[in-house]
Structures are given as structure tokens and as C-alpha cells.
Amino acid sequence: MSATFSYASILHAVGQVLDQIGVKSIAIHEEEEGLFVEGFDGEGQLLVQMRYDVASLYELVNRVESQAEERSATEDEGVLHRFLADHRREFAGIAR
């Protein structure tokens, strides 16, 4: 694994997982092998504990980045379609 990631990209990826679970507050502890993450509900009750080693962080960040690229491409395509519709234009070779 030659890729290096910033804290921002790692925390963004971990944060997306925590958002999906519905966590309201977090505690993140950096360990020699990776990260230990705890997520709590709005009342301070523990919802989840996760341990990410370096390999699992690598996979998580790569997955989140590739999902973001796919969303971006889809959003760009949607913008183009809206632009063409607003200006009453069509793609070449596509008849309506």
C-alpha cells in the first residue's frame, strides 16, 4: 500500500459511516495499528465501537473516494441534462 491519506480524508470516510449509524457525538483514539472509534447517541449512550486497522482504513477511504467520484459523474450528467432541457437542446443522435 503506497498511498498516503490525509487526516481529512480518513475522518471524512469514518464520519460517513458514523452518520449512517446516527451517531451524535464521537471519540476517536489513534492507536499504533489504526483507529479506535466510539459513537454515542444524543443522550451519551454508546451506540458503536469500531476498530480500524491500517488496511481497513485504506479500503474505507478508497471506497468513499470512488463513491464520491461516481456521484460527481452522475451529478455532472444531471447538470448537463438540465442545461440542455432548459435551453431546448438535445444530444447529437438522440431524437425525442
CA angle, 80 then 82 then 85, to 5°: 110
C-alpha grid cell for residue 39?
459513537
Q: Which of 96, 28, 2, 20 is nearest to 64 (CA)?
A: 20
- Of the options 3.30.160, 2.60.40, 1.10.287, 3.40.50, the CATH number for the domain spanning 7-86: 3.30.160
- What's residue 34's pLDDT? 92
Q: Which helix (H) or strand (E) holds 52?
A: strand 46-53
Task: Enumerate the domain spans of the chain.
Answer: 7-86
What is the arithmetic mean of pLDDT over 71-82? 62
Residue 25: alpha-carbon gap to chain centroid: 18
For the chain, where are the E strands, in sequence order? Answer: 25-31, 34-40, 46-53
Per-residue pLDDT tens for 13-67? 999 999 998 999 999 999 999 999 999 999 999 999 999 999 999 999 999 888 8
